Amino acid sequence: MISRTKIVCTVGPSVNSPEMIDALIKAGMNVARLNFSHGTHETHGEMIKMLKAARKKAQVPLAIMLDTKGPEMRIGKIKGEKLPLKKGDTFWFVKEQVEGDKDQITLNPSCIFGVLEKGTVVLLDDGYLLTRVVEVSEKGVKVEVDNDGVLRSGKSANIPNVEIPLPPLTEKDVEDIRFGCKHDIDIIAASFIRSADHVVEIKKLLEEEDKPEIQIIAKIESSSGVNHFDSIVQVADGIMVARGDLGVEVPLEQVPRLQKMMIRKCYYAGKISVTATQMLESMISHPRPTRAETSDVANAIYDSTSAVMLSGETAAGDFPIEATTVMKTIIDEAEKDFNYYEFLKVTSQRVFPDVPSSVALASVRSAYSSNAKAIFAFSTSGSTARLLSRFRPQMPIIAMTPRRKVYNQLALSWGVVPILYREASTIEEAFKQISAFALEKGYVKYGDLVIITAGSPFGKPGTTNMMIVDNIGDVLVRGSEGYGRRINGQVAFLTAHDSRKDYEIQGKIVVINRCNEDYLPVLENVSGVILQNNIDDIESETYLKKAAKRIDLPIILRAE
């Protein structure tokens, strides 16, 4: 079963072999994420080679995602690597680079001291230690500890509900992105995005590297990112709901509401949404997830997220393949219960003034009303497929593109089955290719109705303005009228009927050119009738109609 919701797997030491990557792909991985907070360019380069070889071997689309470290706030080195703290203890956060002790600890980067004032809360180690500023001076700020704990070197720092003047990209981020461009990655997951300008800065860098086609997924990990979400989603290709750091920056009880809000605004904007962090956390060391984790994943599916993400579960866990398999199983079960048509009714109430969005909406509506088995999208840039994905149709979106980069990127889009096509100068040529693929994979059968979206002129990016309703396979015969259910079978020609002869017609579809009482034995033994009659032959039509309705026989009249 093909899952509509996609799976992002973080790759790392636990899957650092071709065999493990192959197994991840078989288990359901659609996107491989490389976390540049860890590892070196050498190790990441080897992994990228391995991933490209694996997707070529499996002949499947697989997007490679580079996740930047981002402009983080962290404490400096502590003498002895750890410092026990008690409630009521005080110490100084200082700008100077020192070896930390019970009196002073470095807080990086120094630009954040400008927003610290008396009463400001500074959370340490993902929120496990809470401190509060009690004094401000030139050298730094004095804080008081609110709870017992142990502080270790390099741990994270967060300042909730405060706009932090951090740069959009660090020197390391720039080097990492350039490295990713050189190795032709598909997607950048940009950490700690706090405004639309940050996304624009990354786009400028990609332009400089001549890689503007790389997608940018903005990670929302702070209250600033939440506050500027509407403008961020307009310029990014998608959003990652990074619940770990977000749950430190905002009250934990607000995270579920914010998750639903961000996913909803993403599909209204036609953008990708990735729900991440601690989805199957217990499977790092256990072969089965908790009930709460199972419900968490399922609820993200019901929220209509484009993708769900595994982090430590696959990168460093003991059960990476099992975690991916469990994730896919939960997705498939939740998708059985998803109300696709109700979702369409809700999302289609909005106004979509542009032509491509209007065509996409009309295509999905037509697919339901005509009982189409699939939607075919011819999309050079991938935008048509993503617009269709916005409405979460129950039938598969089979997206055909000539660009390998787009082919792999579409692996992240909800409900989209990407395929590469050879050169096709006309929509008819492309339709034959996409039909052959859909038939081979079992998405459709001969005679099935499909919806086709494309642009005119064909193959020109950004021109989606056309919808076609067609059948799979070549039309061998057409008639002006018909009756009955859909059937298939062998065809027998009986244009010169002799009632005294026995014909081998049992269960076949017969072609006749007239019909009267002599044909009754024929009608009772066949599965369908095609009448090639003249428009003036009312007698044959009338007799065949009455007989067909009496014995529930599918027929076509005035066939050509």
Other beta carbons within 10 Å of 437: 18
Q: Helix, strand, or coil here: 452?
A: strand
Q: Which residue in 4, 6, 33, 211 is the catalytic one? A: 33
CA distance 37 to 43: 13
371-385 tens-digit pLDDT: 999 999 988 899 999
CA distance 48 to 234: 30
Let me know if 74 is a catalytic residue.
yes
Residues 6+ apart with CB under 8 A from 318: 14, 284, 285
Q: Which residue in 52, 69, 74, 178 is the catalytic one? A: 74
Pick the CATH number of 342-471 from 3.40.120.10, 3.40.1380.20, 3.30.430.20, 3.40.50.970: 3.40.1380.20
8 A C-beta contact, residue 222 and residue 195: no
Helices (H), 211-254: 223-227, 229-235, 243-249
CA distance 531 to 99: 93
- Could you list the mean pLDDT of each consecutive 10-residue stretch along the chain, which spans 560 residues? 93 97 98 95 98 97 97 91 94 94 93 92 90 94 95 88 86 97 98 96 98 98 94 98 90 95 95 96 97 98 98 96 98 95 89 83 93 92 93 96 96 96 77 88 88 76 77 70 78 72 80 82 83 83 85 84
Amino acid identity for residue 495 in this structure: T
- 3-state SS, one letter per residue, for 298-344: HHHHHCCCCEEEECHHHHCCCCHHHHHHHHHHHHHHHHHCCCHHHHH
What residues does each domain of the chain span?
A: 6-71+167-335, 74-158, 342-471, 481-557
Pick the CATH number of 74-158 from 2.40.33.10, 3.40.50.1000, 2.40.10.170, 3.40.50.300: 2.40.33.10
- Domain 6-71+167-335 and domain 74-158 have a common topology: no
Q: Which residue in 68, 277, 305, 384 is the catalytic one? A: 277
Let me know if 390 is a catalytic residue.
no
| Strand order across the beta sheet in which 509-512 lies | 481-483, 555-557, 528-531, 509-512, 491-493
Q: Which CATH class is domain 6-71+167-335?
A: alpha beta
Handedness of CA 469, 475, 481, 484 (dihedral sign): negative
Give the pLDDT confidence score for residue 475 in this predicted structure.
60
Question: Of 184, 207, 181, which Cα lies nearest the Cα of 408?
Answer: 184
Give the pLDDT confidence score for residue 154 in this predicted structure.
86
169-207 tens-digit pLDDT: 999 999 999 999 999 999 999 999 999 999 999 999 999
Give the pLDDT confidence score for residue 92 in this predicted structure.
96
CA distance 114 to 140: 10
Token pair of 282 as six digits: 């217990």
Q: Which residue in 6, 211, 219, 386 is the catalytic one? A: 219
Let me know if 294 is a catalytic residue.
no
